[in-house]
Every structure is written in C-alpha cells, then in structure tokens.
Structure 1
Amino acid sequence: MKYTVLGAGAMGLRYGILLQEAGFEVDFVDIWDKQIAAVKQQNGVFVSRDGANKHLVPINISSPEDYQGDPDVWIVFTKQMQLADALKRSQHLFNDKQYVVTAMNGMGHIEKLNQYFDSNKVISGTAMIATVLNGPGDVDFMGASGAGSMNVVNQNEKPDEMTKKIVEEFSKANLNPKLTTNFQGTLMAKVILNSVCNTLCTMFGIKMGEFIQAPTAEKLSKQLIDEAFDVCERAGITLLNTREQEWQAIKYASTTAMPLHFPSMYQDMDKNRPTEVDYINGYIYDLGLKYHYEASTHDFLRNLVHLAEFSKDFDPKSLL
C-alpha cells in the first residue's frame, strides 16, 4: 500500500522511513517550512541510531499545498496543538477511501480526525518508540533496530481486513504492532505512562533511566497512576493494565526500553516549543472534573510545566 505521513517530525520520520525501507511507497507532508527546506536542500533526511552511523536517507517531502499524492493510508504524527491547522491545510487531499493511522501522544486528536475521516476508518494507537529530532532534516532513532512496539486499535473496535493489512505491513517495518479492541483503554494507558515519565523528566531535565533510579520515583508514579485510574473508573474506561501493571510498564520503559531517552515533552521544552502537557496531565484532570473528581496532582504538575515554560521566556528587564 501507499502511505503518506502528515507531520514529518521525529516519530513521523521514523514510521515513514521504516516503512520505506521495508519496501512500501511513502511520502511525507509537513507544515514546518524549515523542515521541508532542509530536506530538499540536502536531498533527504540525516538518520542516526543512538547518535551513531549518521547517513542520508532520500525522502519525498512537500507542503500540503504542493502535495499531489493519493495514499491508501495517512499516518498522522503532528503535535497536538498543530493538528487542527495541519488537517485544515491538507483537507483537499483526503477522500472517502482513505484510512488514517495515528499514535500521537496525549488526547484530543481523535475528535479532530473525525472531522475529516470516517470514524470506521480511523485507527489509533500508542507508540513505545523513542526518537529525537535533532533539528531540521536530522533525526535520531533511539534503541537497536527492531526496538520498540505499539498498540493498534480501531475507533469502532472492529478490526477489518484493511486494518489487518496495515498491521501486517507495520510488522514488516519492525514497528511491532499489537492489535487490540479496547479503544479508550488502549489510548489512556499511554496517556497515563506519559503523564508520569514525560512530565516528571521534563520538570527536572533528566532521562527516563535517571528518573527511575530516584528513591521517590515509585511513590510519585503511583500517586499519579492512582489518580488517573480513579478518573478512568468514574468515566467508565476499562484500562488495558491494572494499577500495578501500569507501574511495571513505567519501570520497564525507564529501565529497559528507553533508559537513555529524553521524553518528547522535554525535547519541546529544551527547544522553547510549547509542550503537550494540556493533552496529557491536563486531559486527565479535565476528564476527572466531568465526573466530579479532582486529579489534583495532575493539575499541579500541568501548572508547574506551564510555569517552567513561562520562566524560560521571561524577560528579567520587565521587573525594572
């Protein structure tokens, strides 16, 4: 099948390049002009693995306005706050036969995708795959070849033949997909993991492997996990894991799967970009309020991240 990746950032490049290397036709569409310019100037993307073996991989990239392809499947990997604009600019490229797959961080993207795609053709998921965008046209795949995994789930929770074909082709690209039939539970499991690892690592500028060694890591994690599970129980969401299994997943991700990884939220903070904390910890807190429950630790962390964003941009001269 033919794929087009909307959002050629760290994860979009990893998915697209791995599919391309597996023999599938892949195009890339992006709304970041610097990325498009850099890739076109150097005739591809520089790809490293764990900071080594940097090499140029040719790819086809366009803006939404310049793209003329007609893929079978869109793979969407923008940031949450950029998605609405990216979809609006690309809407002339969408049609009724196309499927869309996304494994974006946080929550809020499904509602936006449903404005352009039939919900029966929306496939979401969660990616336990670490990737770093060093700059325009320069990406680093973290972990050994074949490392990482993902969960895949249909919005209608009814896998069809097209879904199974996508899972088969993702498997050939070493993305290690696992098909589930619990839509909300699948997505929220990753949101909860990110609400711990992404947010806490960002606040203190540490890698996941450093965080998990802290004497307070388990207590902090379980406090956030318990609040998130309390919210989900009130919302009628059955999660894939138990509370203890969620903690074990955080331990595994931090000690084994991605110990050297700075989460994407930290990467955004480090490069003075807005973070997705409102779509992760903020989403959990806001969902809880709908069911008369206050996940106060998640709200506290969300506000701390926003304070950190503000302090990075604060001009001390304004006090004079």
Structure 2
Amino acid sequence: MGLRYGLLLQDAGFPVDFVEIWDKSIETIKEQGGVYQSRDRQNKHLVPVNIYSPEDYQGDPDVWIVFVKQMQLADALKRCQHLFNDKQYVVAPMNGIGHIEKLNQYFDSEKVLSGTAMIATVLNGPGDVDFMGAAGSGSMKLVNQNETPDEMTYKIVDEFKQANLNPDLTTNFMGTLMSKVILNSVLNTLCTMFEIRMGEFIQAPTAEKLGQQLVDEAFDVCERANIQLLNTRQQEWQTIKTASETSMPLHYPSMYQDMHKNRPTEVDYINGYIYDLGVKHHYEASTHDYLRNLVHLAEFAKNFDEEKFLASKE
C-alpha cells in the first residue's frame, strides 16, 4: 500500500521519497532501478523512485504517509525519529487499531490523520507491486485525530484526489477507524482461514450468517464503548458484500498474503482489538476471540516443523 500511494502521488506530479524498513526491498529496488508496477497482472513496467533506509534518509517531508504492519510500527518510528519535527503531518490509513498511541509519541495529535483504505494491492515481492482494479478504483476515508480539519488537511485531501485515491474526509475519528476494523474482522479473517478470495467467500451459503454474527458483536462492543459508527449494522454488511461482489472479488486480503508468506498476521489488532475493547466494557465478543485464536493456530500450523516433530517421537 505504501508503494501504491507513493507511486500514484508521484504520477500525479508530487515529489515523493520512499523510506523503507525492509532491507531486501531497498536492495532490490536500487538494483533494478525502480519499482515494477502492474495492474491486475498486466502492463508490468519499471517506475524510477527515490528509496532510502531511515538511517540514510536526509529529507524533510511535509507529510509522512505510514503503511507498515501494526507490529512493526514501534520499531519503524524509533528508527525514523531523528527525521521528525513539529511542522510535519502524518497520515496512517493502516489496518487495525493500535497505531495512534504510537504515533502520538512523535507527532502532535493535531497533526495526526488516520482513516481507511478500500484499495486492493498485492506485493508480489520486493520492488514488485500489483494494483488491483481499474485505474481510479478504490476509495478511502481520512479523519483528523482531533476531528477538526485544518488547511493542511484540505491540501492533503486535494492531493490525494489528484492521485485518484478518492478520499472522503470525515470528522468522526473512532467511528471511521472502526468501520474498517469491522470489515476486516470479517473478510480478512475468514478469507485467510479458508484461503479464498473475497469473491469466493461471498458466494458461500453461510457467508451472511457468519458475517452478520461478527458485525453484530462488533456493533455491540462499539455501543458499549460509546463509539458512533458511520453505518448501521445492515449498511456495514452491505459494504462487506459490495466489496466482495463488486469492488474486489478477485482479491486475497492482506492477512491472507501475510499468512501465505509465513509472516505474522495483524489479527490481534483487528478481531483481537474488538474483543479486548469489549472486555473493557464488560462484554465478551466471543466469536471474534475464537477467530483470533484460530488464526494463531493456523499461523502455528503453517510454520510447524513436522520433520523435527516426527524425529523427536522416534
């Protein structure tokens, strides 16, 4: 997603630098002279970019756009802290919730924007990104942490529009973030567990029953936490259905991509966050907790050393 946002903004004429924490990505992109970009596996071409490690970068950007996994964020921010100053804004439309408190250690809350990104993207490998969907497809929501847009906020929104990221500015911080967490708690988790695309999931006879149960539990949690969501329960399910049937039917969610490549998933920041928030308000979203533990079991099984296990039993 970081590559997609950066490449689209660069294509729209804005200066972009990429600051990467994955050494293999930096090495590959420098060796090949840029990022290979394709769309729906077609028209693969090389796009030159400026890429640096946090230690090598010497720029002073107006805005940081942050796309790392939730569990990587603390280390990424620590490595970049010498680059931050009180004039800079940060935009973090990341999956899950857990990033805001970490960002607030380095940025004033008045300069923190988060949101959601309904923009399907696949990282085929280091320096090789595939934009899913037609040009201009996908959308996102942006929201200020203080829920008060300022001049820079509107400038960011305008530049994102020029880059065809289709931003919609809201003024409901937690309601906006939770809307994507709830969607991901259904699609990311279930598609990952059964290794299916979103379009396959929605065709299952049990899809609505499973999805609605997760949505209802999440809404019960939010009501107890006094979080006003952007949608009703039925509207939230319809958003999930539309994303699966129309917007991104061929997409494997990012959690699946992590599982498939033996990387830790963000389930603790999605289903786990919903469950933990519920417990704080004396409610157990037990289905979310059950799915969180199933994903962790799948992670364990994926990385299980069968040969070592069998040898130990001989």
TM-score bin (small chain): over 0.9
The offset of 1:25, in angstroms, is 0.2
Say which of 91, 99, 103 aligns to 2:81: 91
Q: 2 CA distance for matches of 1:174 and 1:20?
A: 12
Q: Is 1:24 paired with 2:14?
A: yes
Q: Is 1:165 paired with 2:155?
A: yes
- Equivalences for 1:1-320 in 2 at 5 Å? 11-316=1-306, 317-319=308-310, 320=313
The offset of 1:313, in angstroms, is 1.0
- Give the letter for the 2:52 counterpart: S
Q: What SS does the corresponding residue of 1:26 show, helix, strand or coil?
A: coil
Q: 1 CA distance for matches of 2:153 and 2:245?
A: 32
TM-score by length of structure 2 reads 0.98
Q: 2 CA distance for matches of 1:113 and 1:27?
A: 20
The offset of 1:21, in angstroms, is 0.2
- Deviation digits for residues 60-116 of structure 1 (CA, Å, limit 9, x no counterpart): 000000000000000000010100000000000000000000100000000100000
The offset of 1:31, in angstroms, is 0.8
Q: 2 CA distance for matches of 1:28 and 1:194?
A: 26
Q: 1 CA distance for matches of 2:36 and 2:305?
A: 35
Gaps of 5+ in 1: 1-10
Gaps of 5+ in 2: none
Q: 2 CA distance for matches of 1:160 and 1:284?
A: 30
User: Structure 1 segments of 4 or more deviating over 3 A?
Assistant: none
Q: What SS does the corresponding residue of 1:13 show, helix, strand or coil?
A: helix
Q: 1 CA distance for matches of 2:145 and 2:90?
A: 11
Q: What SS does the corresponding residue of 1:272 show, helix, strand or coil?
A: coil
- Deviation digits for residues 268-287 of structure 1 (CA, Å, limit 9, x no counterpart): 00000000000000000000
Q: What SS does the corresponding residue of 2:143 show, helix, strand or coil?
A: strand
Q: 2 CA distance for matches of 1:210 and 1:175?
A: 26
- Identity percentage of aligned residues: 81
The offset of 1:318, in angstroms, is 1.8
Q: 1 CA distance for matches of 2:25 and 2:232?
A: 41
TM-score by length of structure 1 reads 0.96
Root-mean-square deviation (Å): 0.5
Q: What SS does the corresponding residue of 1:100 show, helix, strand or coil?
A: strand
